[in-house]
Amino acid sequence: MPEGPSILILRETLARFTGAVVREADGRVALDLTRLRHRRLLAVRSWGRHLLLEFDGFSLRVHLLLFGSCRIGDATTPSTGSPAVSLRFDDGTRLDFHAVSAKWVEGDLDAHYDGSADILSPAWDAKAARGKLRIAPHTLVCDVLLDQAIFAGVGNIIKNEVLFRVRIHPLSRIGALPDPLLARMIDETRIYGFDFLAWKRQNVLKRHWQVHEQRNCPLCHRTLARIAQLGKRRRRSFHCDHCQALHVLPTLFDASLRTHASGNAPA
DNA sequence: TAACATGTTACGGT
DNA sequence: AACCGTAACATGTT
């Protein structure tokens, strides 16, 4: 369940561990988690889909990938399965992460993370996103929305829903979008992120999906396109071929890009 | 019940 | 050298 808003909720849930001291730490990840023994958890932070447990001088970055989960328990809670990361604190509480990827982040977190890219952060900067997008006019919008360096926290659901909200076809090219529409897409990404967050908190997210996992377009009622591997990232796309406009680059530009990309001269 | 999914990374080949 | 595509991984839900 890990798109940015879900991680933000997880961060809030784990905030109660702030200040706790680790008694024992282990897990199946290829890290020496004993490094955490007797260290005090200074803060629980997040950036996009990254959950960050901050200690003095370093942090543990936990990524839930597609299947990750987190369980809170105490000494009496039997540990189910073998957690990727398992932390036991001095007060007897425990924190187990299953199916996550974990890494150390050395030094100051702010030196590693660009807050302006996090769609849910107060530091989010739409203009910065726009600047990054200008560099790659040929990229498909369905790929660019999933680019964590530009839209940290966006996942496949947010991508599908945002593109429907702004009526942009996922196979459109960034450089083909009129400026005002591009600006709307960027703004709507953050707006939907907060809608997702609110709905997720109330446990009503799914009932608000307009296209994701839906059969028909809520506007024209035609059958939605359901494509299982769209774009470079090969993620599922739910979109309406009729209501979402396809913005393509001028033919010459497009053709020269293709030629360049394939490395072959046209016949 | 088997298949699939809100994802990333490592690796080998161009 | 930089870029590309594919495989590998892991678990809860339908």
A189-248 residues near strand C (Cβ < 7 Å): 232, 234
A81 touches strand C (CB under 7 A): yes
Q: Is the CB of A67 under 7 A from strand C?
A: yes
Q: Answer yes or no: is A65 CB < 7 A from strand C.
A: yes
- Measured between alpha carbons, how far is A183 from A164 in angstroms, rounded to an integer? 15
Residue A229's pLDDT is 78
Inter-residue contact A191 to A2 (CB < 8 Å):
no
Q: Which nucleotides of C are covered by protein (CB under 7 A)?
A: 4-6, 9-12
Host H or E run for residue A252: helix A251-262
The number of C-alpha atoms within 13 Å of A48 and in the hemisphere containing its C-beta is 22
Distance in Å from B2's C1' to A221's CA comes to 32
| Token couple for A197 | 């967050």
Residue ranges in chain A whose pLDDT is less than 50 = 252-267
Give pTM, 2 decimals: 0.92
State residue A9's pLDDT score.
Answer: 96
Listed in sequence order, the residues at least 6 apart from A123 whose beta carbon sits closer than 8 Å to its beta carbon are: A115, A116
pLDDT score recorded for residue A42: 98
Distance CA A122, CA A35 (A): 32
pLDDT value at position A231? 77
Query: Do A5 and A49 contact (CB within 8 A), yes or no?
Result: no
- Closest by Cα among A5, A25, A1, A10 to A96: A25
Dig out the tokens for A127 from the structure: 């203009």
Q: Which value, in Å, is the radius of gyration of the alpha carbons in chain A?
A: 21
Model pLDDT, residue A1: 61
| Chain A span 150-169 residues with beta carbon within 7 Å of strand C | none
Name beta bridge partners: A61. Answer: A52, A103
The confidence score (pLDDT) of residue A261 equals 41
